[in-house]
Amino acid sequence: MPLAPSLRAPASSLDRIERVSSSSTAKLDKLAQVQAQAPAPAIVQSQPVPQQGPMMASVTAPEFTGSVPAPERAPAPRKTIKGWSVRQAYEGIAILQGPNGVIEAVLGQQVPGLGRIEEIRNENGRLVVEAGGGVIYSSRKATP
């Protein structure tokens, strides 16, 4: 079945498309060759500082490379909140005895007079609640 006259591409159009395609392929090949022949980029090294007179000594900052971990600092001792004690603690909930009675507090809760409850833990057999205002301890050792 012969193609309709409008669907036939003239030979000159096909030739032009083939030329453009082959020229772009040739350009890509040349770029690849140039990149393969180019030297790898050099690593930039710091230049030594020229020696200056005694009055014009240069100040250099220490270089941090990250190869040595920073020393861990012991947490600063926090003050104990007077008038409060931990009666019981379990699963992120603490029962606290305060000047106004017994309250139940959960992690992240704002408690008047204490601040935000930051941590509830068992430390050396004692229940400890860290709040924004300080630390609250149990009056006796925790039972398992």
C-alpha to C-alpha distance for 37 and 135, rounded to whole angstroms: 67
Query: 72 lies in a domain?
Result: no
119 has a pLDDT exceeding 70: yes
Confidence of residue 3 (pLDDT cuts 50, 70, 90): low
Query: 53 lies in a domain?
Result: no
Query: 67 lies in a domain?
Result: no
pTM for the full predicted model = 0.47
Query: 116 lies in a domain?
Result: yes
What is the domain count for the chain? 1
C-alpha to C-alpha distance for 129 and 45, rounded to whole angstroms: 52
Q: How far apart are the first and last CA of the chain?
A: 92
55 has a pLDDT exceeding 80: no
Query: 128 lies in a domain?
Result: yes
The mean pLDDT of 53-57, rounded to a whole number, is: 54
Domain housing 103: 85-137
Supply the pLDDT for residue 25.
79
Burial class (CB in 10 A: 0-12, 13-18, 19+), 127: buried
4 has a pLDDT exceeding 60: no
Query: 89 lies in a domain?
Result: yes
Supply the pLDDT for residue 75.
66
Supply the pLDDT for residue 87.
94
Supply the pLDDT for residue 24.
74
Closest C-alpha to 102, from 119, 88, 121:
88
Spatial strand order in the sheet of 126-131: 110-111, 115-123, 126-131, 134-137
Q: Which two tokens stand for residue 27?
A: 């350009």
